[in-house]
């Protein structure tokens, strides 16, 4: 039986969410149609918007449905940049950190290449914690050139948590909008949009027990983005297109359940995470827990292993029936070292030898023990194989 320890990649859909999803897939009607069938579908969509707003503490009108976290990140970053730069052409700087998900990094670099933006990467320490003193000093000197700041609430690789409210507090002094990718944070730590001070926040369904292909960008009522997609003017004219009522209803239930079970989930996963950490460091004393003492997600245990490729380690664990992940990005068949760990100051070898264990409600202590039982042979085999970073 396969042991699944890669919940940060995607989580299993909850049975009750699947039931709601399939029920609403049979509901006929375009939510934009004015006839009875259309308005029935519209009612379902708006109920979902209300449920999500309640779960994440925002106004219902601030929930803009998208196809997932990547679209939400692109809409926030490009939309904020265009809107800010149009108001004041001096505002061409986009501040972020190179520890971000590529759904944030790549849109910023595209804006550099194609739209005249300039990326400014905020430094992080060896645990991946954002240097907020550096940010405050930079804004004190060049705030009138900054279009926006984008910093994730919790890192998808290492699990380190950013003090989002401190970021927005600093940015508010200079009237600079802040976006946060909260995909990794939602369902694992408290997330309140109202208390965060954010201009925009990305979330998605499939990381909290919902279906793939539906997400949202939460946009403060005071903020107007330039849209990526033009058409019928749906979703406050920020995201045109026929709305996915069935997906929204499934998403809203997944979020509601995740938030309602937050404390229980945190206790359960943190106990398993600690079991992972103790076991790994006992088996491989030279392994390094990536975020050190920095505050992090309860479900995430990320390590670097000396003398081997993380991909080899992942493959050998998979052969033993254990599904985990690592920090490497595979593009066009070329394996690269983790950009997150490189930004945190690790060398190429260490950044290539990482492994991420992420946990969910379905995991048990027996699952962790099966992983730990498989680790010695997998690590020995991976060390024998050496590095395969290119």
Kindly list the catalytic residues.
Answer: 330
Phi-psi region of 386 (alpha: psi -120 to 50; beta: other; left: phi over 0): left
In contact, 115 and 61? CB cutoff 8 Å: no
The DSSP 8-state label assigned to residue 14 in this structure reads P
User: DSSP secondary-structure letter at 287?
Assistant: -
Which residues are 26's β-sheet partners?
Answer: none
The length of the chain, given as a count of residues: 390
Strand order in the sheet with 354-358: 288-289, 300-304, 354-358
Q: For residue 74, is it left (φ>0), alpha (ψ between -120 and 50) or beta?
A: alpha
Helical H segments across the chain, by residue range: 15-25, 36-56, 69-87, 102-115, 132-142, 164-172, 193-196, 245-260, 262-283, 310-319, 339-343, 348-352, 365-385
At residue 183, the 3 state secondary structure works out as coil
Q: Could you say which DSSP state residue 199 is in? A: S
| Residue 191 CB-half CA count within 13 A | 33
């Amino acid at each position: 039986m396969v042991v699944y320890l890669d919940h940060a990649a995607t989580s299993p859909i909850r049975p009750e969410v699947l039931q709601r999803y399939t029920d609403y897939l049979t509901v006929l009607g375009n939510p934009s149609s004015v006839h009875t069938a259309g308005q029935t579908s519209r009612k379902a969509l708006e109920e979902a918007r209300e449920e999500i707003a309640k779960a994440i503490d925002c106004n219902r009108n601030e929930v803009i449905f998208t196809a997932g976290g990547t679209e939400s990140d692109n809409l926030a970053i490009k939309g904020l940049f265009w809107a800010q730069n149009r108001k004041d052409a001096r505002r061409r700087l986009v501040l972020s950190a190179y520890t971000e998900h590529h759904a944030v990094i790549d849109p910023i670099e595209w804006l550099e290449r194609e739209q005249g933006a300039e990326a400014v990467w905020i430094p992080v320490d060896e645990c991946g914690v954002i240097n907020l003193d550096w940010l405050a000093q930079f804004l004190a000197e060049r705030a009138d050139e900054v279009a926006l700041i984008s910093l994730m609430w919790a890192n998808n690789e290492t699990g380190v948590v950013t003090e989002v409210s401190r970021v927005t507090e600093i940015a508010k002094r200079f009237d600079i909008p802040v976006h946060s990718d909260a995909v990794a944070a939602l369902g694992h730590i408290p997330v309140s949009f109202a208390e965060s001070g954010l201009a925009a926040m990305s979330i998605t369904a499939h990381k909290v027990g919902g279906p793939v292909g539906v997400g949202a960008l939460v946009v403060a009522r005071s903020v107007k983005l330039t849209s990526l997609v033009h058409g019928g003017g749906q979703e406050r004219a920020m995201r045109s297109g026929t709305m996915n009522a069935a997906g929204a209803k499934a998403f809203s239930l997944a979020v509601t359940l995740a938030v309602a079970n937050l404390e229980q989930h945190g206790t359960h996963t943190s106990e398993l995470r600690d079991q992972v950490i103790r076991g790994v460091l006992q088996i491989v004393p030279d392994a390094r827990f990536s975020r050190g003492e920095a505050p992090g997600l309860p479900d995430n245990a990320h390590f670097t292993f000396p003398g081997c490729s993380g991909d080899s380690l992942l493959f050998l664990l998979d052969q033993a029936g254990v599904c985990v992940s690592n920090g490497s990005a595979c593009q066009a068949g070329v394996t690269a070292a983790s950009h997150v760990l490189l930004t945190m100051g690790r060398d190429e070898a260490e950044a290539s030898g990482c492994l991420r264990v992420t946990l969910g409600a379905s995991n048990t202590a027996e699952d962790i023990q099966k992983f730990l039982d498989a680790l010695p042979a997998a690590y020995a085999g991976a060390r024998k194989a050496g590095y395969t970073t290119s």
